[in-house]
Amino acid sequence: MGDIRNVAAATRPQIRIEGVKKSFDGRVVVDVDELILGGHPIEGLIGPNGAGKTTLMRMIMHSTRLDEGKIAYRRGDGDDEVVLSNLPTHRMADIGIVKSNQVIQDFDNLTIWDSLLLAVAEASNERSYQIYREKRVFEAHAEDIRWYLERFPFEDPNGFAKSAGEKKMLDIIRCLLLRPEVLLLDEPTAGLPEDLRDDLMEVVKEKSTTENMLVVIVEHDLEVIWTMSDYVHFMAEGSVILRGEPDWIREHETVVEKYLGSGHVAG
Amino acid sequence: MNLDWLDAFLLFGVFEVVMVIGLALLLHLQIGLVRIANFGVVGFWGLGAYAFGASFTKIDWSLGEPWPFLISVVVGTIVAGLGGLLVGWLIADLDTDGVLVGTLGFATAVVILVTTQDGLTGGALGMSGLRFPFDIGKTKANELLWFGILVLVVGAIFYYVARVHRSPYGRLLIAVGDNEPLARSLGKPAFRAKLWLFAIASAGMGLLGIMSATMFHLLIPEAIGINVTLAAIVALVLGGTARVWGAVVGAILTVGLFEILVQFYLPFPRSWYTQAIPVLREMVFGAALIIVLLVRPLGILGDMRRDKLVRRMHRG
């Protein structure tokens, strides 16, 4: 039995966070002894404001430096571990880790099509002397992109993303187009109408099984967490203090007291 | 060939217009796409010209014509590119103010270097002996041919820049200019992209410097003053930093109008031309820059209009 479980664990991408600390101006924001992401296909990370969730995500992406500790990553194909905190930010996507943004991020001068083609274009087609590669990139990826554009309604896919919702959606589609092994979603549904939110999450769920992708969701919209996650980590004051199945976390005394408030349990 | 119809001064005026179009096009890659505000254009322009001149005149070449000239052109272009690589490496991650001071400082450093290193550059007296790599008869004919070659070079730069807008590379440059952290999170090596672009554009500026020095047969420190940078920047900003045609339209409306209209067709007293006109030119350019930034900050041609371009690109 033990062997089978090991094999199963080895085929799933895994992020191991060990003794990681970060403080800003002397205030400890993140202090995680040990956290392993990747035991389940979709994992939720919740906690009150200021618990350090976003900072921890940024530390995984190495866009925030670690004061102490180590974050290591093992790909789904069971290769050797890579220490993420040694890599420059732009290498993360290469090795299969991407993150959507909590605060809306966009390219002001790129259209929706542009933005998606940018995400999928290979480095070999983006060199300064490759000035005839547009057609090749377009033909190789147009079908993939069209699939998303048909599934998600943009007012004018040939134009620019207009509303905050469109920009948010674009951000996540860009990530999905990269076919990552690990997808970190930092408040993916903030600002999205309910039907779009459900649609988007359905696609994420679909991809997590068809593409063997590990998804980690940070979210305040707990309905998303309860319906999507197979496993939930609860953070407070910089540390992960509880972990478990969504139903168990949902009713746990500490979570209720520190985060949900007693009204939630009754509801 | 009878070239009596051609006014030699007019030819030099048009030469400068085309040269500034070339500089503004290269600057468009830097400012318009990746948003590196290079205020040291003349530094790379002068570095290329002087490196070419030193190689051409100070080395005892045993090769026959035109090899010393051609090799020196390559040397000058590469030196300007290496200068770009070094400066780019220092400034690529700085904010706009840092980039401005850094590039401006570089241009000043080049002027000081060519003034003090007189063994290599001729110092304040200048460097002469720069001649065309061909001789087809009269001076005017040679100058006209050289002008034709410049047109080809600037035409090639225009073609390259226009192609960049239609390629995945251009999209990468715009993305890096718009939102560098986001581009990086999508796996794009933003720093490397900026650095290479800066170096390549600098090499191009160096080549234009070489062509200009050859046309005038002379290089003096005064020739590599801020007015070259100013001409390129004013042209680009006036025409529109975001559009390929911005550089062309801007250069014709600024340097073109001034060099040709004012210098040839307006009845200014002869004595003005050495003293007053150059100063007047800087004043007019400065005023044009201020007016454009106040009235139409994106320049005459305005926004990049990527939506139209992308639609056109994928239609066929």
Taking CB atoms and an 8 Å limit, are B171 and A93 in contact across chains? Answer: no
CA angle A254, A41, A30 (to 5 degrees): 45
pLDDT category at A262 given cuts 50, 70, 90 is low
Radius of gyration of chain B (CA): 20
CA distances from residue B303 to A108, A189, B32, B225, B240 in whole angstroms, order as listed = 11, 32, 10, 31, 8
Which contiguous run of DSSP H or E holds residue A247?
helix A246-251
**Using a CB-CB distance cutoff of 8 angstroms, which residues of chain B are in contact with residue A109?**
174, 177-178, 242, 304, 306
Q: Does B190 touch chain A (CB under 8 A)?
A: yes
Taking CB atoms and an 8 Å limit, are B186 and A118 in contact across chains? Answer: yes
More confident residue, A78 or B92: B92
Q: Specify the amino acid at residue A12.
A: R
Using the predicted structure, report yes or no on whether residue A197 has a pLDDT greater than 80: yes
Using the predicted structure, report yes or no on whether residue A4 has a pLDDT greater than 70: no
Question: How confident is the model over B23-44, as a mean pLDDT?
Answer: 96
Pairing relationship of beta strands A68-74 and A82-83 according to DSSP bridges:
antiparallel
Q: Does B160 touch chain A (CB under 8 A)?
A: yes
| Distant-in-sequence, close-in-space partners of A89: CB < 8 Å, separation ≥ 6 | A61, A62, A63, B181, B184, B185
Nearest to B196 among A99, A117, A128 (CB): A128
Q: Residue holding tokens 């004051």?
A: A237
Residue of A nearest to B179 (CA): A107
Q: Does B196 touch chain A (CB under 8 A)?
A: yes
**Using a CB-CB distance cutoff of 8 angstroms, which residues of chain B are in contact with residue A113?**
310, 314
Predicted local distance difference test score (pLDDT) of residue B33: 95
Predicted local distance difference test score (pLDDT) of residue B268: 77
Using the predicted structure, report yes or no on whether residue B152 has a pLDDT greater than 80: yes
Dihedral sign for Cα A154, A155, A160, A166, please: negative
Question: How confident is the model over A232-258, as a mean pLDDT?
Answer: 90
Taking CB atoms and an 8 Å limit, are A118 and B175 in contact across chains? Answer: yes
- Start-to-end CA span in chain A (Å): 40
Question: How confident is the model over B18-45, as a mean pLDDT?
Answer: 96
Which contiguous run of DSSP H or E holds residue A53?
helix A53-60
Q: Does B158 touch chain A (CB under 8 A)?
A: no
Q: What is the mean pLDDT of chain A?
A: 89
Predicted local distance difference test score (pLDDT) of residue B129: 86
CA-based nearest distance A169→chain B, Å: 15
Predicted local distance difference test score (pLDDT) of residue A264: 53
CA-based nearest distance B15→chain A, Å: 28
Predicted local distance difference test score (pLDDT) of residue A254: 85
Taking CB atoms and an 8 Å limit, are A133 and B160 in contact across chains? Answer: no
Question: How confident is the model over B181-206, as a mean pLDDT?
Answer: 96
Q: Does B172 touch chain A (CB under 8 A)?
A: yes
Residue of A nearest to B303 (CA): A109
pLDDT category at A16 given cuts 50, 70, 90 is very high
pLDDT category at B316 given cuts 50, 70, 90 is low
Among B202, B310, B313, pick the best mutation site for testing chain A contact (most A Cβ within 10 A). B310
CA distances from residue A207 to A76, A95, A173, A177, B238 in whole angstroms, order as listed = 15, 18, 12, 10, 49
Among B30, B159, B186, pick the best mutation site for testing chain A contact (most A Cβ within 10 A). B186
Q: Does B31 touch chain A (CB under 8 A)?
A: no
The pTM of this model reads 0.92
Q: Of all residues in chain B, what percent carry a pLDDT higher than 90?
A: 67
**Using a CB-CB distance cutoff of 8 angstroms, which residues of chain B are in contact with residue A126?**
168-169, 171-172, 188, 193
Question: How confident is the model over B76-85, as a mean pLDDT?
Answer: 98
Predicted local distance difference test score (pLDDT) of residue A263: 55
CA-based nearest distance B202→chain A, Å: 14
CA distances from residue B298 to A161, B236, B290 in whole angstroms, order as listed = 21, 10, 12
Q: Does A78 touch chain B (CB under 8 A)?
A: no
Q: Specify the amino acid at residue B271.
A: S
CA distances from residue B281 to A216, B227, B272, B297 in whole angstroms, order as listed = 61, 9, 12, 21
Using the predicted structure, report yes or no on whether residue A266 has a pLDDT greater than 80: no
Taking CB atoms and an 8 Å limit, are A130 and B178 in contact across chains? Answer: no
Question: Between B8-27 and B244-251, two packed helices, what is the crossing angle to 10 degrees?
Answer: 150
Q: Does A125 touch chain B (CB under 8 A)?
A: yes
SS3 A160: coil
User: Among A127-136, A250-259, B30-39, B207-216, whose mean pLDDT is lowest?
Assistant: A250-259
Question: How confident is the model over B259-273, as a mean pLDDT?
Answer: 77
